[in-house]
């Protein structure tokens, strides 16, 4: 019941701000598609660059949608509304609170990615998006929702969340196999960036959309990130750290 309560709260918030959330999910990705995909006519891996770009934009949109949906709101609730005091004394198990936040954030990111897929339907790219694509999108959203929960605990004030986004999330958006392949990055940097969750997500969705198979190791890597950051978030709340 605790998870359902959290998801209901997210649903009410989504209905209230539906137009704002939808527009926010559309604007930046559309600019990427127009400027890089249509404005710059290039070829990547023997295919139109737009075919390479769309899976990457879908991936980064799920990342941004999930992270922003959790990190900002949860940080405000912790610092200014003191909502965690109510969570601690409520009968809701703490693990259900964490799980509800992660699932709710992942669904928000999934919705944002889905909006981009709908907008690209009129473009005749021949890309394929199926159940595996949606699973990867959901897992990617779950990973960055969990990261958002951790960041909300680490932030000492409201300005710390945008700073984290600028230092970590934004570089990943540009480097992690979204606008160009990580194969072009040299040595250790390329290996490090390719192991990040967004790189794995972009690679898997791109392979699926091209009608190719994908390695299940990518799913395992995303699950590993999810478990690690969920464990960190749980440690904060169970140990009552930074509440």
Q: How many folded domains does the chain comprise?
A: 1
Within 10 angstroms of residue 94's Cβ, the number of other Cβ atoms is: 16
- Assigned domain for 243 exists: no
Calculate what percentage of the chain has a pLDDT beyond 70.
90
> Burial, 217: exposed, middle or buried (Cβ in 10 Å; 0-12, 13-18, 19+)?
exposed
- Assigned domain for 174 exists: yes
Q: Who wins on pLDDT, 33 or 145?
A: 145
- pLDDT at residue 139 in the model: 96
Q: Is 44 helix (H, G, I), strand (E, B) or coil?
A: strand
- Cα→Cα distances 161→17, 60, 110, 167, Å: 21, 18, 21, 10
- pLDDT at residue 44 in the model: 55
- Cα→Cα distances 80→7, 8, 134, Å: 22, 22, 35
Residue numbers of the domain that contains 138: 2-238
- Assigned domain for 233 exists: yes
Q: Tell me: the pLDDT tens digits for 4-61? A: 888 888 888 888 888 888 888 788 887 877 777 665 556 555 677 888 888 999 999 9
């Amino acid at each position: 019941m605790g998870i359902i309560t959290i998801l209901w709260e997210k649903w009410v918030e989504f209905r209230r701000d539906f137009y704002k959330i939808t527009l926010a999910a559309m604007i930046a990705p559309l600019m990427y598609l127009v400027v890089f995909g249509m404005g710059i006519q290039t070829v990547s891996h023997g295919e139109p660059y737009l075919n390479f770009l769309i899976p990457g934009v879908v991936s980064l949109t799920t990342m941004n949608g999930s992270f922003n949906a959790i990190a900002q709101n949860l940080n405000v609730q912790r610092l200014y509304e003191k909502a965690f005091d109510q969570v601690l004394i409520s009968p809701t198990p703490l693990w259900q609170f964490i799980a509800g936040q992660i699932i709710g954030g992942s669904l928000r990111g999934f919705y944002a990615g889905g909006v981009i897929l709908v907008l690209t339907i009129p473009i005749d790219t021949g890309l394929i998006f199926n159940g595996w694509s949606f699973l990867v999108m959901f897992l990617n959203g779950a990973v960055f929702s969990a990261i958002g929960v951790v960041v909300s605990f680490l932030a000492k004030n409201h300005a710390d969340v945008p700073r984290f986004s600028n230092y970590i999330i934004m570089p990943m958006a540009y480097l992690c196999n979204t606008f160009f392949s990580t194969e072009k990055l040299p040595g250790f940097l390329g290996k490090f960036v390719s192991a990040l969750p967004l790189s794995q997500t972009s690679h898997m969705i791109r392979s699926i959309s091209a009608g190719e198979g994908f390695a299940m190791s990518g799913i395992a890597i995303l699950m590993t990130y999810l478990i690690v950051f969920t464990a960190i978030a749980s440690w904060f709340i169970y140990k009552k750290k930074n509440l």
